[in-house]
Amino acid sequence: MALTGPALAQTRPVAARASAQALKASGATVPTMSPARTTGRGRLAAEPVHLRTLSKTDASRALAQAGFGPDAVRYGVDLYRLLYRTVDAEGRPTVASGLIVLPRNGERRLRMVSFTHGTQSYKEDAPSIGEDDFSSAPAITFGSAGFAAVTPDYLGLGEGPGTHPWMDVPSETTASLDMLRAARVFMAREGRTPQRRVLVTGFSQGASAALGLARALQDGADSSYRLGAVAPISGAYAFRDAEIPALLAGGEINPKMAVAYTTYLLVAWNRLHHLYDSPTEVFKAAYADKVDRLFDGTTPGPEMLDALPDSLDQLLTPRGLDLLRHPSGPFAKALKAADGTCDGWVPRAPIRLYYSAGDEQAVTANTEHCRDAFHANGVDLTPIDLGPYDYEGSRHLGTAVRGTAAIVDWFAHLPA
C-alpha cells in the first residue's frame, strides 16, 4: 500500500506548495463542469504542461538521487502533466491528473507502461506535482528505457478536485484507464502512437490498482488497448484476512504506519460507504476532530503523522476496534470488493507477483492470499521475493526500488 497503500510511505519531506500556486504556475486550471462538457472520458481537460526535460545523464542522476538504479537508462525523457476527464467513485464526471514520460529516442510507435503508485495522502506529493523524485522515479525508469510511461495521480490527488477515495479499486481502475486514453490523445498531438498492448505494474496501493486495470483491459474496456503483461509489487490484496489482522496484532507492521493506514481507511471509506455518523464513534476524542482534515489532501505527510498517536489503542474507541475485528455491513461489503482483485479471473497475458519477506507495511500474507486465489483458478504462479533490501529504513519502500528494476528488465524482454 506504501504510505505509499499500506505504505503512506511517501512521508518523506516534500517541499510544500499551495495547490492554487501550482495551478497558476503551470497555467492549468480545473474547468468548471457543465452538462454540455461532461462527456468524453479520457479527453484532455486542459493544455498539457511540460514539466521538464531530462537528458540521459540527467535521468540517471535523478534516479540515483531518488534511490533508484540507473541501469535501464538508454534515453533522455520529457515529463508532462495531463489533466483529463474521468468519473468519480459514484460515476459522476470529474477530472484527474497524471504524469506521462516519453523517451527522447525518435521512435513514433511506443510500447506503453502503466505504473500505479502507492499510498499518498497529500495532493502535492502526487507524481505529476511532487518535487520528490521518488514519486516519479518509476515512470522515469520506464520512460528512459524507451517506453511511454503513464502514472495516474488517482482521484483527489495532484490537480484532481475533492478528496482521495483511498483503496477504492473501481475508481483507481477508471482513473488509470482514462489516463491511458488521455495519453493516446496527447501522444497523437506529439506525432507518436501507443502500441496496443499495455504493460501494467504498480506498487503497494497501486498493486491492487494494477490488477484492476489489467482485468479491465483483458475484458475489453477499451478497444484500442489490450493487456500485454501485469506485474504488481507488494500489494494489500487481502485487507480483511491479512492486513487488518496484522494491523491489530502489532509486530509485523510499523505501529505508526498501522495508525496512519487505519485512519486513512476509516476516513476514506466512511466518505464512500458511510461506516459511522460521527468520527467520535470510532476515534477517541483527542483525534476525532482532526482525522477528516488530516486526510483531505491538504496536510503534508510528516505533519499528518505527527498529529496521530503511536498506537491503535490510543486512536480508536472500543467501537472502532470492534469494527476492525468484526467487519460487518457496509464495511464488510467494501472489504470484499477491495479484496477481490486476484479472485475469479485468469490472466491471458504473462503475470508476475513481486514482494519481499519481512515487509513492514504490506505483510507477506497479502501476496500469499493473491497467489492462492490465482491457483484456485488454475493459474500457475510463484511470487518472486525481491530480497531483504531496505530503502531509508523501509523494506516496503525497498520493494518499489528493486521491483521497478526487475520489472523494467522483464518488460524489455517481452515480445513487442
DSSP letter string over 200-233?
EEEETHHHHHHHHHHHHHHTTSSTT-EEEEEEEE
Digit-coded pLDDT (tens) for 10-53: 433 322 233 333 333 333 333 333 332 445 999 999 999 999 99
Q: What is the pLDDT of residue 37?
A: 41
pTM value? 0.91
Matching CATH number, 40-238+340-413, of 3.40.50.1820, 3.30.70.1400, 3.40.50.720, 3.30.390.50: 3.40.50.1820
What does pLDDT average to in each consecutive run of 10 residues of the chain (416 residues)? 48 32 32 42 98 97 95 98 98 98 97 98 94 90 98 98 98 98 98 98 98 98 97 98 95 93 98 98 98 97 97 98 97 97 97 97 97 96 97 96 98 94
CATH code reported for the domain at 248-335 = 1.10.260.160
Residue identified by cell 474496456 is 221
Looking at the chain, the domain(s) classified CATH 3.40.50.1820 span 40-238+340-413
Q: What's the chain's Rg over C-alpha atoms?
A: 20
Provide the angle, in degrees to the nearest 10, between the axes of the packed helices 205-218 and 169-189: 70
Task: Please list the residue range(s) of the chain that carry CATH number 1.10.260.160.
Answer: 248-335
Residues 6+ apart with CB under 8 A from 362: 1, 2, 5, 6, 7, 204, 207, 234, 235, 236, 243, 355, 396
Pairing of strands 148-152, 109-116: parallel
What nine digits make up the cell of 348?
A: 491471458
Buried b or exposed e, range 22-43, using 16+ CB within 10 angstroms: bbeebebebeeeeeeeeeebbe
